[in-house]
Structure 1
Amino acid sequence: MGRLSITGFRAVVAAFVSLLALAVAQAQPRFDFDRTPGRLPKDALPLRYTLTLDLDPQREHFDGTVAIELRARRALPALLLHAHELETTGAVTLKSERGAERTLRIEPDAAASLWRLVPADGAPIAAGRHCVHITYRGRVRNSGEGLYRIGSGADRMLATQLQAVFARTLFPSFDEPAFRAVFRIAVRAPQGLQVASNMPVERVRRDGAQALHTFAPTPPMPSYLVAVTVGHFETLTGRAASVPLRFLTAPGKAAQARYALGATQLLLPYYNRYFGQPYALPKLDQIAVPGVRDGAMEDWGLISYNESLLLVDPKHSGPDTPRWVFALLAHEIAHQWFGNLVTASSWDEIWLNEAFATWMENKASEHFNPQWQTPLHTRRWIDQTMARDASGATRAIRSGPVDERQVSDQFDDITYTKGGAVLSMLEQWLGDETFRRGLAAYMRDRRHSNASAGDLWHFMGRASGRDVAALAASWTDQPGVPLVQLDEACEGGQRVVTLSQQRFSADAGAAPSAQRWQIPVRLQQGQASATVLLAGDTARQTFAGCDGPPVLANAGGRGYYRVMYASTALQQLTAQFHTLAPADRSTLLSDSFALAQAGALPFGAYLALLDRLPAAQGAGRGALFAQAGDALVLLDEALAGLPVQQRLRERARALLAPELQRLGWQVQAGEASEDTSLRARLIELLARFDDAAVIGEARARFDADAAGRAALPAALRPGVLGAVGMHATRAEFDRLRAQLLAAGGEEERWLLAGALAGGRTRALVDEVLALSLAGTLPPNIASALPGLVGEAGVFGAEAYAFSREHWAALAKLAGTGPFGGNVWLLPSAAKSFNDPAQAAQLVADQHALAGAPGTAAASRIAARIALRAAMRPRAAAALESGS
């Protein structure tokens, strides 16, 4: 066989890539219930649950009765249901449309969380409609999953978090997303307590010292969206788009929900218009949970949040709290369409829920609050995700079959951040209106049902007339992030741009990859622009004339790829950095740092860009300095323990201190929110980098506040408390700890916990670690303390050793939920490590303690440790040489 020419070889590769894209696209079929993966067979379909729960916040257990109306699609020897840590308290019976009531025998499979219900008479269950009746008992949990308790004494309340696989801890069920059914829920609770669920209450009937609250039936929905809460609440009410709104808070905090009420009144009608589908339920409640749970959950009609993510306290909330609250509201309310009205077919497709909610959260935040510069700040999260995606510890957005025991691995930055970024890139490629029409058609067709990626691309393709499936599959069905290399040449008086692609790796020694993407590359040269679809190895684009500025790739910054310029072009872009559009400055800074970390660009080139930051004026300046701060912290972690670390800190102070001086310490009336946010961040960063003047000023303001001489403004609290906590004396530490133990809100607790954890005195940090097991803090805060110490970096080894030694006790506090939990205890404590041996130790320890469910979390942090270790000598050399 003769040797292939280069041209012939490229043709073969291009053909292979095309065939691969076709195969991947064909692997994204439209939703088919029978072919949807899951543990449960598809031969029995739940139609309706009638669920009665006996709930008392003062009890350690709860009682329940469930009647499940179902249809057997064929004669069955038994029924299979999910149930976990439930025990029956009476006979389990089955009644058919025609026929006598029969007893069912339970054959439990505790390891798989399954009950096999077998007819005691040995006869099969006939095809047709039946009703299974079960009375049972379960336990109330202390961590934020299943049915869990919050608080103590008379103020104790109950709430639920059933995503992903915790509905089975509340009631026996078909606990997989494809099994939608109507839920008729009733809750019996002590008189005087308020009860809420997904739907409006229809009636309340007294029953001695109890009251039975019966709720209207839900639309068909998956089991994980069921929600109940019981307790003493203060309420704030309103309306939006004719929908009654209600916010439930701990007593005395309803006024802090006013910001969230106003945001919801903007978001609900906005989404109604955008999706072309009105909000589907007759009410929307949102509850602020004062502890225990982390994150938020989009339960249909009753969204729950950790209170720090829903409430805004004018006296204590930091300058970023309103934007965090707005973004999370936008995310969870978007789920009322993405996830609830249309549900992902299985956990394999959960990105359809979460990526779209993330994309919509950013879109809505930018629409209503353009002054926040949301796209520029989103760059920081995308950078972190790209760093993971450039390592071996990544996965595809659609990563294939998902083991139920590791569903939590899907609720990560690949699903949320990469998924949202890829959707933003597709929206830019198709056009905003075309993208919206495709989504609206998708919603109309799949409402009250399930969907797969194939459904989405079908409607996007119809709306655009393009092969969206093939392009999208190259992003959703393979891991990694591409690197686009741009070369320019002058040919015949025209500027010819040649683009090439390869997989970007953070490992400089990684073998080349044959992966290819269909990349819509947006090019900009002066006022001229073009979008080139780079589907194979290379593509070309011509611009008129050879003069003028270099060509920018990923203009506007919405592409999920890295860009590498020729050295001459990069030098020109660096010199003209201050003239670039804000998004292009951010993207260039981001790509340059990533390339320097990977050894593909000298660190000196990145440091030269940092030097240009002060010249960048106008919109986006705050986001640029925040982005630079993230990079400097990463470099500081990589260089920890080396003499050159002090040179880095000098350089950081030289860059950041003049910016704080420009802003001043006093919040000015009417100042831009970006300046208010940046000021607090700069104070904390400069304290980390040992700026004596900033540390002294922070201490003085902290002391004046404590003495009652001058109250510390809310906008300065995150920066000042963080700075004081890092350099705390015994007296300052004691004051911070007393404030933490007395704090009346979650936002305040997290702020003070972070401040204490950042300390640089070993004896005081040992006291912080001990506090995690003292029983004086809510379990979510307590279990997070060692990780906060580890993330601060100074005593990471001590935090890690503590977490390993006390893993069982901390795991009991953390639980196993999808938003943190026990699998993150060791990885969080190891976050600032920079030694490959520490990465290997983490992986081994995690396997021993957390088993297979902890593999992904440990691998992610181990990859970050390896990246720091690899960049450590290169960054040190650049700083030592004065680059």
Structure 2
Amino acid sequence: MHRSLISAAVALALAAFPLQQAIAAPKAAAAQEATTQLPRGVVPSHYEIALTPDAAKGRFTARATITISVTKATSSITLNAADLRFDSASVAPLAGGSAQGAKTSVDAAAQTATFSVDKPLAPGLYKLTLDYSGVIGTQAVGLFSLDYPGADGKQQRALYTQFENSDARRMIPSWDEPAYKATFALDVTIPAGQMAVSNMPAASTTTLPDGRQKVSFAKTPKMSTYLLFFALGDFERATVKAEGTEIGVVTRRGAIDQARFALDASKDILREYNDYFGVRYPLPKLDNIAGPGRSQFFGAMENWGAIFTFEYALLFDPASSTQHDRQEIFATAAHEMAHQWFGDLVTMRWWDDLWLNEGFASWMESRMTARLHPEWNTRLGAVGSRDGAMQRDSVATTHPVVQHIETVEQANQAFDEITYQKGEAVIRMLEAYVGENAWRSGVRSYMKAHAYGNTVSDDLWKQIEKAAGKPVTAIAHDFTLQPGVPLIRVGEPVCRNGSTIVPLTQAEFSRDRPDKKPLAWRVPVIAQVAGNDKQASTLVSGGKGSITLPGCGAVIVNAGQSGYYRTLYAPKEFAQLAQAFATLAPIDQIGLLSDSQSLGLAGLQPASNALDLAKAAPVSADPQVWSRIARLFEGLHWRFQNWPENGGAGRQRLNSFAIARLAPVMAQTGWEARSGEAPAVANLREELIGTLSELGDATVIAEARRRYAAMDKDPSIVPGPLRKTVLAVVAQHADAATWDGLRTRARAETNPLLRDHLYVLLASVENKALAERALQLALTDEPGLTNSAAMISAVAQRYPDMALDFALANTAKINERVDASSRSRYFARLAMGSSNPATIAKLKGYAQASLAASSRGDVEAAIAAIQDRIKTNAARLPEIDAWLQRHSR
């Protein structure tokens, strides 16, 4: 699953039930069994599903015939079911014989249904047949609908499914847990003229007497329930053949050309993955299905053979898409296709090891993008991804990569920065430690050994360690079984006979517990002397170590930035690096900026060190270095906004300094693309315009307004790659008349992709009164049900307290517009950017009233972020302001 960039969702008591300890067993045996919330003793092997959806009425009817193995005599069968109504149930021996009717009882809180028979079932094989009906929802859980304007302006409706992590039970009564793998045969009865899509190709299509069609899909391989998929609508499909597989894209009618880039990318990615994994993609086809709208929980989902992706992450429209969009489309496809192996072919046994899916898919996404598009130079983005993890991982509310999951709600909350970004960073570090070839050999062995099965993390470490001949498991355990961020303190280097000896000490980087006793890690460290291409590596173990480097001069620890740790230099050594900053490799410039900003705000070094580096950066620095500097300035801008000590003077000084630094880079970059410019320059243009707009640069704001005013008469004045950027600036600084004009433009837009974007822009307005209007608009039907939560989240980026108060006052309506899988997260994430102490009490009150104690992880993380921001602003902004006063022009 590819994480959505939108913040995620409100609270609901959704299956917060404790794990069942179904049978007593010795500790060794219990450790080998998969976790389950269902009674043991009945195991499914095949599902036959006959489904008839009624999109207009928002309901479906179905029959499920499930082949089961009863391993222990029983008078009842319990499986997962949510929001289903059962009409009949029976059990019959698979070998033949009379069926028994079964009595049905439903436990809505536990999301289970139990079917009891009068005559106990002896061990053996049976068929459980269930006739039932259910609801087609309007948010992305279970079987759901998405409405959108068609090319003729009339409203269209399409159906899709989203089952991860525990929502297959909303369409299919099932053993809805990853370890209960089975095969599936899906039959659907659909209206004439519509297209049905599932994991496998259609085996047959017949026309019924009433004109409807019955489509029977081929049987799937053995897989987990959450990977089953179905879609229905007025679709188009385009295909290519690659590596013996039919690769397809499916879109709403009229949008198929916008999926060509994703289709071509998928062909190249499949070839690379077949080679890398050493196991060929096993299904006959692989579709990527585009859906309008959005979710607060995810952007795309790796259903085996039928990836679902929201349009904004799949379609490339030259009229409005940017270079950044192109890269995101490729990265999303690479992520979901990696899951076809890591997650689909080999699946984690239980949600404790979710990172085996998501961390690896994130790492493969980055690896594949860098391999197939080296001109994008995306490897520099690894530092930003790592930062996202460290931000969450350096406070007390963090958790290990491998974490104990007890409830469905906890599984929902496990899709976070630790699972994705820390998982990815740890893999990158371990690959660098053992070497690319050994790592790939271990991954290939893992795939072959566990194909169609379920695993835990140690199954992977076993194969990697065997291939590498290095103690990978011990290091991996340090970084995945305990939380936190190591801190490597760099001692005074000693130059002797043309080599430099550097002492290293391991501590822990904690933002909210400065006196915390450090945990211990075995830390792979790579270092080099600035200007010397030769690197050296060591393993810091037991808290101390040293490394000997060829050459003498300023020392770069974590050279290449593959390590998951913060690096703290003594003042003298940092000064040397700052002086040599312009000569460092771009990725180490970004890494040094990142560490300096984080360590400075935490009080471990001067908070102004990062500004020293930003001041030292030449205009000719790599575009991604300037993007990082722009984000540094914007982050400080937001901090100063909420620092009332000097009436805004500090913020003005920061803005003036930042504009003076960025304006020459903007002048060099220009507003429009030049022939042959690097892709990173196009991304920098978008970044600079957005940041300068936020800083209040009058020149940039005026130019965006000028282009916007002329674009309807002269479309060439706002080229496609610039359109969203210009609209964003205009929307941010809109007055009432401009805001109304943007709303009129949104109403008239027939392209769902552009329409959705315009409504979210209406919520990004700086004017507080207009932001309040956006909140009210979000709860109407006008923007579309799946855009409401995104609009409120957009307001929360600027006015978190106002957005939270609005959401708390409209809980029922918010619940209708937020994915059920996101509801325990949504309120918390609205408040994440607050600096208001009163917000903490509101979050605590909300959690106590609405959330089970086991479902408060995101609320606790939000509270920790607010507390950290309040403390850090008070402690560090005076120091930064003093630096700005010394360096003001």
Structure-2-length-normalised TM-score = 0.92
In structure 2, the partner of 1:864 is 865
Q: State the Cα distance separating 1:375 from its structure 2 match.
A: 2.0
**Which whole-Å CA distance do the structure 1 matches of 2:388 and 2:301 have between them?**
24
In structure 1, the partner of 2:13 is none
Matches within 5 A, 1:88-167: 88-97=86-95, 99-119=97-117, 121=118, 123-151=119-147, 155-167=156-168
In structure 2, the partner of 1:804 is 808
2:731 to 717, 725, 733: 725
**Which whole-Å CA distance do the structure 2 matches of 1:589 and 1:441 have between them?**
39
Cα distance 1:383–1:716, how it changes in 2: closer, same or farther (>3 A)?
same
In structure 2, the partner of 1:10 is none
Amino acid at match of 1:280: P
* Structure 1 counterpart SS, 2:808: helix
In structure 2, the partner of 1:188 is 189
Q: Which segment drifts farther, 402-411 or 827-836?
A: 827-836
Does 1:485 find its partner at 2:471?
no
Does 1:830 find its partner at 2:835?
no
* Structure 1 counterpart SS, 2:342: coil
**Which whole-Å CA distance do the structure 1 matches of 2:211 and 2:28 have between them?**
52
Q: Which segment drifts farther, 35-44 or 588-597?
A: 35-44
1:73 to 71, 74, 77: 71
Q: State the Cα distance separating 1:390 from its structure 2 match.
A: 0.5
Q: State the Cα distance separating 1:665 from its structure 2 match.
A: 1.3
Amino acid at match of 1:44: V
**Which whole-Å CA distance do the structure 1 matches of 2:782 and 2:867 have between them?**
37
Q: Is the 8 A contact 1:63 1:136 kept in 2?
A: yes
**Which whole-Å CA distance do the structure 1 matches of 2:753 and 2:254 have between them?**
16
**Which whole-Å CA distance do the structure 2 matches of 1:445 and 1:735 have between them?**
60
Q: Is the 8 A contact 2:789 2:818 kept in 1?
A: yes
Does 1:501 find its partner at 2:483?
no
**Which whole-Å CA distance do the structure 2 matches of 1:726 and 1:564 have between them?**
38
Q: State the Cα distance separating 1:581 from its structure 2 match.
A: 0.7
Amino acid at match of 2:504: L
Amino acid at match of 2:815: A
2:332 to 304, 316, 328: 328
**Which whole-Å CA distance do the structure 2 matches of 1:56 and 1:411 have between them?**
32
In structure 2, the partner of 1:8 is none
Q: Is the 8 A contact 1:338 1:357 kept in 2?
A: yes
In structure 2, the partner of 1:569 is 573
**Which whole-Å CA distance do the structure 2 matches of 1:730 and 1:759 have between them?**
10
Count of residues in Structure 1 that have an aligned counterpart in Structure 2: 845
**Which whole-Å CA distance do the structure 2 matches of 1:277 and 1:697 have between them?**
53
Greater RCO structure (CA 8 Å; 6+ sep): 2
Q: State the Cα distance separating 1:604 from its structure 2 match.
A: 2.0
Amino acid at match of 2:506: Q
Structure-1-length-normalised TM-score = 0.92
**Which whole-Å CA distance do the structure 2 matches of 1:513 and 1:751 have between them?**
47
Q: Is the 8 A contact 2:521 2:543 kept in 1?
A: no
Q: State the Cα distance separating 1:758 from its structure 2 match.
A: 2.4
In structure 2, the partner of 1:696 is 702
**Which whole-Å CA distance do the structure 1 matches of 2:509 and 2:756 have between them?**
36
Alignment RMSD (CA, Å):
2.1
In structure 2, the partner of 1:224 is 226
Q: State the Cα distance separating 1:652 from its structure 2 match.
A: 1.7
Matches within 5 A, 1:642-661: 642-661=648-667
Amino acid at match of 1:575: Q
Matches within 5 A, 1:416-427: 416-427=420-431
- How far does the alpha carbon of each residue in 1:541-570 deviate from its partner, in whole angstroms, 9 at most, with x for none? 23467xx32221110011111000111000
Cα distance 1:365–1:101, how it changes in 2: closer, same or farther (>3 A)?
same
Q: Is the 8 A contact 1:317 1:715 kept in 2?
A: yes
Q: State the Cα distance separating 1:622 from its structure 2 match.
A: 4.5
Q: Is the 8 A contact 2:832 2:866 kept in 1?
A: yes
* Structure 1 counterpart SS, 2:491: strand
Matches within 5 A, 1:847-858: 847-852=848-853, 855-858=856-859
Cα distance 1:112–1:54, how it changes in 2: closer, same or farther (>3 A)?
same
Matches within 5 A, 1:474-553: 474-490=478-494, 495-507=500-512, 510-525=514-529, 526-543=532-549, 548-553=552-557
Q: Is the 8 A contact 2:701 2:729 kept in 1?
A: yes
Amino acid at match of 2:690: E
In structure 2, the partner of 1:670 is 676
Q: Is the 8 A contact 1:485 1:501 kept in 2?
A: yes
Does 1:314 find its partner at 2:315?
no
Matches within 5 A, 1:4-403: 35-97=33-95, 99-119=97-117, 121=118, 123-151=119-147, 155-207=156-208, 208-293=210-295, 294-403=298-407
2:606 to 582, 599, 602: 602
Q: State the Cα distance separating 1:440 from its structure 2 match.
A: 0.3
* Structure 1 counterpart SS, 2:618: helix
* Structure 1 counterpart SS, 2:649: coil
In structure 2, the partner of 1:5 is none
1:756 to 742, 759, 762: 762
- How far does the alpha carbon of each residue in 1:369-428 deviate from its partner, in whole angstroms, 9 at most, with x for none? 112221212322321220111012211010123312321111111111110110010000
* Structure 1 counterpart SS, 2:856: helix
**Which whole-Å CA distance do the structure 2 matches of 1:285 and 1:30 have between them?**
42
- How far does the alpha carbon of each residue in 1:125-184 deviate from its partner, in whole angstroms, 9 at most, with x for none? 110111100000000001011000111676211100011110101011010000010101
Q: State the Cα distance separating 1:477 from its structure 2 match.
A: 0.6
**Which whole-Å CA distance do the structure 1 matches of 2:706 and 2:447 have between them?**
56
Q: Is the 8 A contact 2:525 2:538 kept in 1?
A: yes
Q: State the Cα distance separating 1:657 from its structure 2 match.
A: 1.6
**Which whole-Å CA distance do the structure 1 matches of 2:220 and 2:715 have between them?**
55
Cα distance 1:196–1:44, how it changes in 2: closer, same or farther (>3 A)?
same
- How far does the alpha carbon of each residue in 1:681-719 deviate from its partner, in whole angstroms, 9 at most, with x for none? 111111111111111111001101134474411222232
Q: Is the 8 A contact 2:619 2:665 kept in 1?
A: no
* Structure 1 counterpart SS, 2:449: helix
Q: Which segment drifts farther, 491-500 or 598-607?
A: 491-500
Q: Is the 8 A contact 1:151 1:157 kept in 2?
A: yes
Cα distance 1:744–1:372, how it changes in 2: closer, same or farther (>3 A)?
farther
Percent of residue pairs bearing the same amino acid type: 33
**Which whole-Å CA distance do the structure 2 matches of 1:653 and 1:665 have between them?**
16
* Structure 2 counterpart SS, 1:488: coil
Amino acid at match of 1:181: A
**Which whole-Å CA distance do the structure 1 matches of 2:113 and 2:721 have between them?**
53
Structure 1 unpaired stretches of 5+: 1-28
Cα distance 1:590–1:637, how it changes in 2: closer, same or farther (>3 A)?
farther
2:711 to 688, 705, 712: 705
Q: Is the 8 A contact 1:481 1:503 kept in 2?
A: yes
